[in-house]
Amino acid sequence: MQLQDIKLAIIGLGYVGLPLAAEFGRKRPVTGFDINQQRINELKNGSDFTLEVTQEELAAAKYLTFTTNIDDLRACNCYIITVPTPIDDHKRPDLTPLVKASETIGKVLKKGDIVIYESTVYPGCTEEDCVPVLERVSGLEFNRDFYCGYSPERINPGDKEHRVTTIKKVTSGSTPEIADLVDSLYNEIITVGTHKAESIKVAEAAKVIENTQRDLNIALINELALIFNKMNIDTEAVLKAAGSKWNFLPFRPGLVGGHCIGVDPYYLTHKAQAIGYHPEIILAGRRLNDSMGAYVVAQLVKAMTKKRLQVDGAKVLVMGLTFKENCPDLRNTRVVDIVTELKDYNCMVDVYDPWLSSEEAQHEYSITPIEAPESGNYDAIILAVAHRQFKDMGASSIRALGKPNAVLYDLKYVLNPQESDLRL
């Protein structure tokens, strides 16, 4: 197959698939496929609830069409799969969406077709878990009748600077020729170039370690914050001082949530365990990062007790629920750990987040956010997410939401050090 022969489909139009489909859709015909009819209806109306693609950008993708109908995929010959790769309740990889999407493609796969996976997985997943599904359903043989590629996505939801086209992309293919073709396909839209990896496994491993490294770096800084808090040393001040050295990495303490950083390391540790290696450092980092919500509440309770504020029945305002600032993404947000822990102390918790879909918060976490906080109403306020609206409010407006003696905990260094009672 030559580049000009490619008839592209993108399977799964979420945070990753839609921006990709919109970029390709400016250049060539693209069939955007999703199993979620409501999502497809919204996209047909030009609206993206993830806020990753604007109405204008969708309109500019004039060769992009949307469908939930598998028959519309039959005219395609190259499929990019961008479905979720979550973990289950036991923190094991849940490959269900990936397997189901592979089954869908298996039903329409023809001789010569190429299936490119973008979802984050462990090394070996494409060839060991997905290819057998494609072969079983299609009756075709891998690397004789059809081929695969793997090109992990690196986008960062809410980040308007690092976009699909301006992030260098790792590509790979199941044969050298397919690797070249996959690479040139992505080069059509990526303006900053690609990195063609030696194999699919190398590309898979590269993606999963990018996020594992980030998780571990944050875990180290979280551990340092626990130490410095015990010593009454301001962690941010220490990080600023250490950051004056050219090779000190600028990580900050905090909750580690979201669809990637807190999840992807488990894909790697699962595979490691499956081949008989029991990771120590990676899982220690995960444990520490997952315990930060309980730590934050323990800190708050101590501070409230010192001010002789009664914790039982206290009114606490949690500002921000999304997993990161300036985006509506609620997936795997660890702010819920703070809310749960506060409720265990019998606190009355109000959650306020101007970015939130109230229905989603209710659906995902049974949390009903408030429309707007009432002034002078709270015994404690936790600034949990650094949304720009909170930055714009400033310390005095935020303090005004609390009672005169309320504790203000600035988890994200939104305020100057002296403006809050507690920082991480």
User: Which positions touch ligand NAD (CB under 6 A)?
Assistant: 11-17, 33-36, 39, 82-85, 97, 100-101, 104, 118-120, 153-155, 157, 259-260
Classify residue 232 by burial, with Cβ atoms within 10 Å: 0-12, 13-18, 19+: exposed
Sign of torsion over alpha carbons 396, 402, 408, 409: negative
Query: Least distance from C-beta 341 to ligand NAD, angstroms?
Result: 26
Q: Strands (DSSP E) along 253-367, which ranges?
A: 315-319, 348-352
260 an active-site residue? yes
SS3 403: strand
Query: Least distance from C-beta 37 to ligand NAD, angstroms?
Result: 10
Which tokens go with 375? 């002034």
Of 52 and 421, nearer to ligand NAD (C-beta) is 52
Distance CA 46, CA 29 (A): 17
Query: Least distance from C-beta 258 to ligand NAD, angstroms?
Result: 7
Query: Least distance from C-beta 203 to ligand NAD, angstroms?
Result: 13
Query: What residues have CB less than 8 Å from 327, skipping those under 6 apart?
Result: 51, 157, 158, 355
Of 94 and 234, nearer to ligand NAD (C-beta) is 94
Query: Least distance from C-beta 335 to ligand NAD, angstroms?
Result: 17
Q: Minimal CB distance to ligand NAD: which residue? A: 14
Residue indicated by tokens 């690609």:
194
Could you say which of 78, 125, 130, 260 is catalytic?
260
Of 13 and 367, nearer to ligand NAD (C-beta) is 13
Of 341 and 360, nearer to ligand NAD (C-beta) is 360
Distance CA 17, CA 382 (A): 34
Strands 348-352 and 315-319: parallel
CB contact at 8 A, 328 and 322: yes
Of 259 and 423, nearer to ligand NAD (C-beta) is 259
Q: Please list the active-site residues.
A: 260
